[in-house]
């Protein structure tokens, strides 16, 4: 099957009235091929009447020489992909994961890895204003060289909660204006791919690029405190906050805080980068490490938006916020 074609996916929403909703379209897969051999035939199986649960698949979508787009439409329920997704079987064409913004706290949940066939992908774009959560490591590789971009985030919020591997694969990663990357997972750190790094760079004050460690409760939409880790002890990686970039962190009520943990270097030397810190009104007195970088920190955040009382304490390898006892006066230089 080498012909390019479109495949639309439909699921039955059991919690909604089918009389009023009919069959809501929440996925669309274009530019790919049907599965063959031991894999499932996507166009035949992704319909409401038969095998609507994607967990029945071995994989979805083999590139066949074309770029592919996985689109998650705005839906009253979270769209769930429970199959490995193989994208970009050709280093000539980019691929896209586009997530529309709907009522759920998480619009798209991907429960298995994003990968390439034969390490021959190109740039994998993340578009759309919705929120996507990836729970497993990605082995996505740009086949045009170790220094070429792999994932590129251009819109929406993308969370990585993987506990092993790299959530964004092996190539350098870029976060553009209008996009936010967060989660409690691990990015980079692959000993076989030393060229991985992250660039966070927006275009204006109205199109900021951001990292926001921590995740979100899928049911309530509440923010969950967490640590986002870049690099590893065996393979350090670099993070650079460029112009019009932000780090969003919060201090919670239980003596915990979000943290960006970088095994490698952190560059804050660009103009107009900034820190946005939210502090819970019941936060405890103490010292909170918001940023750590084993390879050292260059520069400082130019813009500090801090909603609460306390003091930022920078060092060569960390950025800490100290909340003093009630009534204490703080003096800063």
* pLDDT tens string 179-194: 999 999 999 998 777 7
How far apart are alpha carbons 222 and 251 in whole angstroms? Answer: 14
Beta bridge partners of residue 289, listed in sequence order: 320
Q: What is the pLDDT of residue 244?
A: 98
Q: What is the pLDDT of residue 45?
A: 30
Measure Cα distances from 217 to 48, 99, 248 in Å: 28, 18, 17
Residue 42 pLDDT:
34
Sheet holding 84-86, edge to edge: 59-60, 84-86, 114-115
Q: Within its chain, how far is the Cα of 84 from the centroid?
A: 17
Sole residue written with tokens 């029945």:
56
DSSP 3-state percent helix, strand, coil across the chain (nearest 5): 5, 40, 55
Q: For residues 271 and 136, give the distance between their C-alpha atoms in angstroms, rounded to a whole number.
A: 34
Rg from Cα positions in the chain: 21
Q: What is the pLDDT of residues 233-257, one digit of tens each?
A: 999 999 999 999 999 999 999 899 9
Q: Which two tokens stand for residue 320?
A: 């800490």
Q: What sign does the dihedral 116-118-122-123 (CA atoms) show? A: positive
pLDDT in tens, the chain (333 residues): 233 233 233 222 222 222 222 334 455 544 443 333 233 333 323 332 233 444 444 444 434 445 667 777 788 888 777 766 666 555 577 888 889 998 999 988 888 787 765 556 688 899 999 999 999 998 887 777 777 888 999 999 999 999 999 999 888 999 999 999 999 999 999 877 777 899 999 999 999 999 999 999 999 999 999 999 999 999 999 999 999 999 999 999 989 999 999 999 999 999 999 999 999 999 999 999 999 999 999 999 999 999 888 999 999 999 999 999 875 555 444
pLDDT for res 144: 77
pLDDT (0 to 100) of residue 119: 56
pTM for the predicted model, two decimal places: 0.83
CA-CA-CA-CA torsion sign (120, 126, 127, 130): positive
Tokens representing residue 169 in the block: 């694969």
What is the rounded distance in angstroms from the CA atom of residue 200 to the CA atom of residue 209?
6
Chain centroid offset of residue 128 CA: 13
Residues linked to residue 8 through DSSP beta bridges, in sequence order: 28
Please enumerate in sequence order all residues whose Cβ is within 8 A of that of 159, keeping only pairs 6 or more positions apart, or say none. 106, 131, 132, 133, 134, 181, 182, 183, 185, 215, 216
């Amino acid at each position: 099957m080498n012909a390019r074609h479109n495949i639309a996916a439909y699921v039955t929403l059991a919690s909604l009235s089918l009389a009023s909703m009919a069959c809501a379209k929440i996925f669309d897969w274009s530019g790919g091929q049907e599965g063959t051999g031991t894999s499932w035939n996507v166009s035949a199986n992704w319909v409401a009447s038969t095998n609507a649960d994607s967990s029945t698949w071995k994989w979805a979508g083999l590139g066949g020489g074309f770029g592919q787009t996985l689109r998650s439409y705005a839906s009253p329920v979270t769209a769930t992909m429970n199959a490995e997704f193989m994208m970009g079987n050709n280093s000539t064409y980019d691929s896209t994961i586009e997530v529309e913004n709907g009522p759920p706290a998480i619009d798209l949940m991907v429960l298995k890895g994003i990968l390439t066939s034969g390490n021959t992908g190109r740039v994998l774009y993340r578009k759309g204003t919705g929120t996507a959560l990836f729970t497993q490591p990605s082995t996505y590789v740009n086949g045009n060289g170790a220094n070429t971009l792999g994932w590129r985030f251009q819109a929406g919020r993308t969370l990585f909660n993987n506990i092993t591997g790299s959530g964004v694969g092996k190539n350098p990663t870029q976060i553009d204006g209008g996009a936010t990357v967060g989660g409690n997972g691990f990015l980079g750190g692959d000993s076989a791919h030393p060229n991985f790094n992250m660039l966070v760079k927006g275009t204006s004050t109205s199109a900021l690029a951001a990292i926001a460690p921590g995740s979100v409760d899928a049911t309530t939409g509440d923010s969950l405190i967490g640590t986002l880790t870049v690099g590893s002890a065996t393979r350090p990686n670099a993070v650079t906050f460029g112009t019009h970039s932000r780090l969003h962190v919060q201090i919670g009520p239980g003596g915990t805080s979000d943290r960006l943990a970088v095994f490698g270097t952190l560059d804050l030397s660009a103009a107009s980068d900034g820190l946005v810190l939210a502090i819970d009104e019941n936060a405890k007195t103490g010292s909170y490490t918001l940023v750590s970088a084993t390879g050292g920190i260059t520069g400082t955040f130019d813009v500090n938006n801090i909603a609460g009382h306390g003091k930022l304490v920078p060092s060569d390898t960390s950025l800490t916020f100290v909340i003093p006892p009630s009534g204490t006066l703080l003096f800063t230089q």
